[in-house]
A and B are shown apart, each in its own frame.
Chain A
Amino acid sequence: MTTDRIAVDIKVPNQTRYLCLIGHIGENIARTLRNYSGDREKLAYDLNLVLTEAMANAIQHANEGDPAKEVHIEISIVDQRLIIRVFDCGQGFDVQQYIEPRHPLDEHGRGVYLIHTIMDEISYLSTDNGHVLKLTKNL
């Protein structure tokens, strides 16, 4: 069986105008995968959403909206495991605090919950100059 082995490394300015670009890369990966037996269009939406939410979090909470900063995203697929890493260079935020579903009338704080419902593993760890949000999904 031919398996997918994909590695994508992206660096974009810390600005929301690039969310669409990052989200579309996720969608296109879902549509290109060789071996995926699930609902491909659902996976496309989910990867678009996960990447959009993860990057928006990095922009707003970790990089404090500073447009001069950069968001670094790595997407890789090895052995039917999809791993997304989003690197930021800021103070970070408490991921665990946002994992539980919000009250429906809350205006903020749904992003991490949505990521959590889609991905199998989620971690947020310190790096030399910031943090990395690591998200894993078994395909």
Chain B
Amino acid sequence: MNLQIEDKGAAVLLAVQEERLDAHNSGDLKNQMLKLFEEGKNNLVVDLQAVRFVDSSGLGALVSGFKNASSRNGNLKLSGLQLQVKSMFELTRLHRVFEIYTDSSEALASFQQ
């Protein structure tokens, strides 16, 4: 999976550079997040600006990251959701679980407050 990872201090930004987040590549995202948790980086922003399509596996990977971050007293926040991707979060009621920001700089700023 094409994923840009950048440590921004208060949180690590993971920018998914794929059109699809699905059963083919969501395992890679999950593993990358686990690696960061093992390094003690428990505050993550996953930016989905480039993602046009997400399926149940993609949602599952994000839920897994969210639960892992929470159990380590961190948080996983999302940014840059395209309209139809956002609808998927609403349909599965996940918009009530995640903090969702318009863009990554807003999401990162929320960790600095």
Contact = CB atoms under 8 A, between A and B. Distances in A.
Contacts of A114: 55-56, 88, 91-92
A23 B20 CA distance: 10
Given A53-B56, A110-B56, A111-B55, A20 B91 contact: no
A38 to B, nearest CB: 14
A16 interface: yes
Given A49-B55, A111-B55, A111-B56, A105 B24 contact: no
Nearest to A106: B63
Main DSSP-derived SS at the A contact region:
helix
Interface stretch (A3-11, A40-48, A80-88, A130-138): A40-48
Interface residues of A, number: 28
A67 interface: no
Interface string A108-132: 1111011001000000000000000
B101 interface: no
Nearest to B26: A16
Given A104-B93, A104-B94, A56 B60 contact: no
A104 B59 CA distance: 10
Contacts of B59: 110
Contact of A104 (B56, B57, B84, B92): B92
A110 B92 contact: yes
Main DSSP-derived SS at the B contact region:
helix
Contact of A105 (B56, B61, B63): B63
B93 A48 contact: no
B94 to A, nearest CB: 5
Given A104-B93, A104-B94, A110 B24 contact: no
Interface of A: 16-17, 19-20, 23, 41-42, 45, 48-49, 52-53, 56, 59-60, 101-102, 104-111, 113-114, 117
13 contacts: A16-B22, A16-B23, A16-B24, A20-B24, A45-B53, A49-B53, A49-B55, A53-B55, A107-B67, A110-B56, A110-B59, A111-B57, A114-B56
